[in-house]
Structure 1
Amino acid sequence: MNTPTVLIAEDEHLLAENLRQELAHLWPELNVVAMAPHGHAAVQMALQSLPDICFMDIRMPGMTGLEAAAALADDWPQNGKPFPLLVFVTAYDQYALQAFEHAAIDYVLKPVQSERLAQTCARLKQTLAQRVSAPLPAMQSAIDQLRQLLQAPALLGDAHLAPTPHTAAMPAPLRLLQVNVGNSVLMVPVDQVIYFEAADKYVRVLTADKEHLIRISLRELLPQLDGERFWQVHRGVVVRSDAIQRAVRDEAGKLTLQLHGTKDKLAVSRMYAHLFKGL
């Protein structure tokens, strides 16, 4: 097979360089094609270089390693090179790592230990060899696993703060949005919202007759919404399910939503296409 390529995404330069050196020692043939300092750069560099393997630090500024991997899955060329094998680099303890126990996606702990990294390299070599002899459905497998990992409470924040099944208390879903409008605070019922869209540090709120901006990230807002009624359909979009009129699939298999109350059409990412399967 061709020389395998790898992208390393790590916001701490010394840790990234240490990982590069360890990989050079354990796997001399491996070609490091990109070193990304944050999640957004990791997505851009990976789409340019199309590496065979990505090492992603989970906790990076702006976009986590999990979110970067999900974004990469959304934008990866469908008819091109197979989706890269993913290895997450994390400082989390064993509680958080339970999410990885049954996943084909691998992980290594910080600080990276040579013995553990050697096991990961052996696993990666074996999987790449299997791809050559019998191509694997890597894209859908990675998407399914990423979806599960993105929903794991222990991977959404500090592991020692993650709730246990005995202590977790789900607050009541948000019912009203308090929106600053000049010198006033407008009360917007959540039931009137057609969809939410991420806009940098804000969230765009669209109702049938108004549009608002609220100063909160979509990541912070999402846990406050009724998950049965509000569906995330893209990494930056959450839509009220009963506002969906139909989901239309084009010739390339991409889904677009047509909504009640607005002429806007919303793209559905690969990560959430499973929500729209006809009975």
Structure 2
Amino acid sequence: MSSVKVLLGDDDAGQLGLLADLLARLRPHWSIVACARSADEVQHSLDQDRPTLAILDVRLGAVTALEIVRQQSRRVPTIFVTGDPIFAVDAFNSDAVDFVLKPVRAARLEQALAKAEASTAMPSVPAGRERTSALCLFRGQELVWAPLDEVVYFTADRKYTRVVMPGFEGLLRMGIGAVESSLDPQRFWRIHRGIIVNMRHMDSARRDDLGRLVVRLRDRAERLVVSRPNESRFTDGFF
């Protein structure tokens, strides 16, 4: 797991998902330890997960993130996010790393993350093969926190990525190329332009009647076709 552990907090599921997507794209080697939607959840993560960086919406119901951060005995570098610039002065008085106005753009968040790295000596490049270990994804209107190991496969869904897991499916609001950049290529294989498979869920691979190489999954009925350019990853007798 990455040495940089990030707590995300926003009471709006859509905004929380956007932050998670942007962070996964900009810092794929950092770990998101929690996606909190209330002041209580933020406080719980600060106490239990001990994040090294927090990215928090200022308004969290009746309590502001500014109040929560001020009350911490342990200083947690924090980037505050809000649609109301009136909070900017208070944020910087709370020793904020940065203050980002909504709508959050990738370029602006990148500036804030770079400030965090510079001010807190966070590693700005991956160490070894550190990758994300969990995902914040949408299941209908609900935001779900899902361990990466439980993902069976990813499949492209227009400009988004569908995440298939045992028992349900969710949606990442980012393209499959961006998703691939945050995954360990030794564990997740791109078998098709629009499909990435978790190797731990593979059962076998064999030719069908049309000569196509087809992956069978453990405990699932669907079959996934391997594109010709990706067949070289599979060697005779591998399974």
If the length of structure 2 is used for normalisation, what is the TM-score? 0.46
If the length of structure 1 is used for normalisation, what is the TM-score? 0.40
More helix by share: 1
More strand by share: 2
Q: Which structure would you say has the larger RCO, counting Cα contacts within 8 Å and 6 or more residues apart?
A: 2
